[in-house]
Amino acid sequence: MADDMEIEDTLSRDPVALAAIRSLPPSHKREYVDWIAGAKQPGTRERRIAKMIDMLNGKASHHGQG
């Protein structure tokens, strides 16, 4: 299950994404955490984490998080 600390630990390797998530309001940060935590398969979770990093770095759209 993802939580705020796990997300920040994952993002510690990407300072831009880490700064971006830290600047978000708590409700938006919770959306990312809940989206990742909702993944049932490890592969889905990994893809969502990668997409979250791209979104935080401005490389992917927030639309269709799926």
Full DSSP string of the chain: ---HHHHHHHHTT-HHHHHHHHHS-HHHHHHHHHHHHT--SHHHHHHHHHHHHHHHTTSS-STT--
Residue 51 reports pLDDT greater than 70: yes
Q: pLDDT, tens digit, for every residue of 17-39?
A: 999 999 999 999 999 999 999 99
Which of 43, 60, 52 has the alpha carbon at shortest distance from 7? 52
Structural domain contains residue 64: no
Find all residues with CB under 8 Å of 20, minimum gap 6, and list them. 56, 57
pTM: 0.80
Structural domain contains residue 65: no
The domain tally of the chain equals 1
Question: How confident is residue 41, by pLDDT bands cut at 50, 70 and 90?
Answer: very high
Average pLDDT (51-62) is: 87
Average pLDDT (53-63) is: 82
**Residues of the domain holding 45:** 4-56
